[in-house]
Amino acid sequence: MQQRRPPQLDARLGAAAAFVRPGHTAADIGCDHGKLSAFLAASGRCPRVLACDVRPAPLAKAQKTCAPWAERIEFRLGDGLSILAPGEADDIIIAGMGAQTVTDILAAAPWVFDARYNLVLVPATRHTHVRRWLAQNGFEMAGETLARAAGRWYAVMNARYSGRRREPDPLWCLTGAVQSQPGAAEYRAWQCWKMKKYRRGLAPGPEAEALDRLIQQMEDDTLWP
């Protein structure tokens, strides 16, 4: 008999699952191996899960992972949110993709610019870009969890549309809402290291000067709890 115990999730996917609202249909965009989809169905957190991927091979792997709970999971092959109709899923998870891909997926689906949708975003790169895009496009950060998995830092973001577009503070874009969480100092140092690496490639000028000021803020211990 197959085990019907929910699969184990790493810290990154565990934090993502915690932001999914109980009782809602969830769409796992870029489901890959299907562990998160399986967990959401097996744990009873979601009555229905749409496991979606743009590539046939990962989707086939997800179908095997999710086989014991297949009655609650629908598998779809396609690009981003194009394979969903508005309202099919209230909770939308986009994990394991680069920041630009995450924001491109959202921008291509204007129906998600609606307060009914609960977004759970786990960009694999450039967390700063995603935070800035969300603010500039009228989304509020409902929550954010810092997670370390496979030797990398992840910022697991929970966002909802408010319609209030704004230009966010650059320091907030870098550090998010995780400064009181375990590992925050290490995460900040990692973000600072990436900025310094980028700064070395800049010619003298306003952009370089602004980045120097931001790096100084990042290194100023008096600003942090």
Alpha helices in 66-117 (DSSP H): 99-107
pLDDT of residue 180: 86
CA angle 26, 30, 32 (to 5 degrees): 110
Question: Is residue 146 a contact partner of residue 187, using CB atoms and an 8 Å limit?
Answer: yes
Can you give the pLDDT at residue 38?
96
Helix (H) or strand (E) run with residue 75 in it: strand 73-77
Residues 56-75, mean pLDDT to the nearest whole number: 94
- In which band, very low, low, confident or very high, does the pLDDT at 75 lie, cut at 50, 70 and 90? very high
Radius of gyration of the chain (CA): 18
Over residues 191-213, the mean pLDDT reads 91
Q: Average pLDDT in the 58-82 region?
A: 94
Q: Helix (H) and strand (E) counts for the chain?
A: 8, 7
pTM of the predicted model as reported, rounded to 2 decimal places:
0.93
- CATH architecture of the domain 11-167 equals 3-Layer(aba) Sandwich (3.40)
Q: What are the tens digits of pLDDT across the range 182-199?
A: 999 999 999 999 999 998
Q: Rounded to whole angstroms, how far apart are CA atoms 87 and 218?
A: 41
What pLDDT is recorded for position 150? 86
What pLDDT does 1 receive? 37
Q: Torsion angle, CA of 98/61/28/190, rounded to 10 degrees?
A: -30
| Alpha helices by DSSP H, 4-81 | 11-19, 35-42, 56-65
